Chains A and B, each alone.
Chain A
Amino acid sequence: MMRSASSNLIVRVTARFVAPVIQIFALYVLFHGHYSPGGGFQGGVMIAASIILLRLALGNRETRPLISTAVATRGAALGALIFLAVGALAFRYGGEFLDYGMIPFSDDESMRRSHGILLIEVGVALACACALTAVYDDLGEAPGRGEERSGD
């Protein structure tokens, strides 16, 4: 049901065409978050949406090798860890938790804060995208009512 790929050629080709566009736009939303509405959560959700679109259209067998559920779970942990690591890095340079102004990315303190924000947004986006992908995979794998377990 959920795992079977769509056999419709139009659906498959359209999904394959649209997904990279969504991902590029997601990266734009993520990295342009300093200057326009956007940021980590929004970019991450869009990346997850593109992956789920591919899973729906092409099926799990074709898209699991790209990003498996295990990789997605680890990616979610890594994203949260990036956030934590940037926050804890400020300890190393005598700041408080998440005080990016103390981390020596550059000479100017406001630029240091800007870089810290960017790193954190990347961590948030990774955590969001991977967490949503993993949740989708787990929900799709959940033993449904009356659904026979088919080995894939």
Chain B
Amino acid sequence: MIRMPRRIRIPLALLGILCCCTALLFAIAAEPDYGDPHAPAHREVSPGGHVTPGIYYTRNALAEAHTPNMVTVTLADYRSFDTFGETTVVFCGCVCVMLLLRRRRPERSDDS
């Protein structure tokens, strides 16, 4: 790692942040308007000619899973593989904290 004096490092970091912020702001300007019905995310048919997943989920969630809350259906049924990954991530976080911080049972004097 290159050691730089504080006087150079902090202005350099600020410059980097400024560049990233400018790029992100330009990206936001190119986004479709909020709630624009013609935005790609709200299209009923994808460019490939299929019904888009969001439209399919909102139309069929109640009939296919007998659950009025279509967010739950999307999360736990249509996209349950994703939710399984989320649960695994939560569990992995728990295991990592345990491995890093939990005290061992036979207490050693002090391991640096």
A residues near B, CB below 8 A? 33-37, 39-41, 69, 73, 76-77, 79-80, 83-84, 87, 97-98, 100, 108-111, 113-114, 116-117, 120-121, 123-124, 127-128, 130-132, 134-135, 138-139, 141-143
Task: Identify B73's interface contact among A37, A73, A77, A117, CB under 8 A.
Answer: A117
CB distance from A37 to the nearest CB of B (A): 7
Complex CA gap A98/B91 in Å reads 19
B101 and A98: CB pair below 8 A? no
Contact of A141 among B84, B91, B103 (CB under 8 A): B103
Can you list 5 pairs linking A and B with CB atoms under 8 Å apart? A36-B69, A80-B91, A113-B67, A116-B77, A141-B101
In the bound assembly, the distance between CA atoms of A68 and B84 in angstroms comes to 26
Cβ of B75 under 8 Å from chain A: yes
With A73-B95, A138-B101 known, 14 other A-B pairs at CB within 8 A are A33-B69, A35-B67, A39-B71, A69-B102, A76-B91, A98-B80, A98-B84, A108-B66, A114-B66, A117-B73, A120-B80, A127-B87, A132-B94, A143-B103
Chain B residue at minimum C-beta to C-beta distance from A113: B65
Which residues of B, 49-98, contact A by the 8 Å Cβ criterion?
Answer: 63-69, 71-73, 75-77, 80-81, 83-84, 86-88, 90-91, 93-95, 97-98
User: A124–B73 Cα gap in the complex (Å)?
Assistant: 14
Distance in angstroms from A150 CB to nearest chain B CB is 12
Q: Of B84, B94, B98, which is in contact with the most chain A CB atoms at under 10 Å from its CB?
A: B94
Q: What is the bound-complex CA distance between A84 and B73, given in angstroms? A: 18
Partner of B66, one of A41, A87, A113, A142: A113
Residues of B within 8 Å of A84, CB to CB, are 84
Contact A39 B72, beta carbon cutoff 8 Å: yes
Determine the chain B residues whose CB is within 8 A of the CB of A134 once the complex forms.
94, 97-98
Least distance between A55 CB and chain B CB atoms (Å): 16
Shortest Cβ distance from residue B88 to the other chain A in the assembled complex, whole angstroms: 6
Minimum CB distance partner of B102 in chain A: A138
**Complex interface residues of chain B between 19 and 61 (CB less than 8 A to chain A):** none
CB distance from B30 to the nearest CB of A (A): 32
Known interface pairs A34-B69, A110-B66; A117-B77 also in contact (CB < 8 Å) = yes
- Contact yes or no, B68 A34, CB < 8 A: yes
Chain A residue numbers with a CB within 8 Å of B76 are 39-40, 116-117, 120-121
